[in-house]
Structure 1
Amino acid sequence: MLAKSLTQPLGYHAVEKAFRAWRKDLGPNAKQSVLHGLRKLAIVRLPEAGCSDAEIQAVTNQRAEMVAYYRKRADRRMLSKAAQTCRF
């Protein structure tokens, strides 16, 4: 996502600090948004977009176990949507 250089990623705490500063400028409605929630959302949405576990890990820096856990949620959501379209 973000990098210090071409070979070195930016650490989570550096990104979180910048996110807090950016969120502060957005006003009180943005206070409910947290970086952890956005990261979690990415782990759910990326499999829905067809990304592999390795690609998801590269983007979110999560362990394989966490990616697998959230992939199950994404798979269930996609299957549920597919089942609902079959009804019509």
Structure 2
Amino acid sequence: MKQFLAGFGFRSNTPAFEVGEEFEAFVTGLNGHSLVRVGDTVLSLPGETVEPDTRVRVRVTDFDAGADQGSAELLEVLGEGAF
């Protein structure tokens, strides 16, 4: 049974990020600046107004794991979403 479950785990709906971590995500909203949501975690992109449903590459600049929110720097706009 142990071999069967090897590598098995659950994903959190509130992932935590490390400062400096880079990843791709979709802009999900605007609130004076662009917002990126990963599950229930929200990262703001200060000074950026990229339209929702745009795929972007970001770098985390600040993160509060207790509040499940932080900010990130826009590195690259990758294109429109395919919804």
Question: Normalised by the size of structure 1, how large is the TM-score?
Answer: 0.24
Query: Which structure has more RCO (C-alpha within 8 Å, separation ≥ 6)?
Result: 2
Q: Which protein shows a greater Rg?
A: 1
Question: Normalised by the size of structure 2, how large is the TM-score?
Answer: 0.25
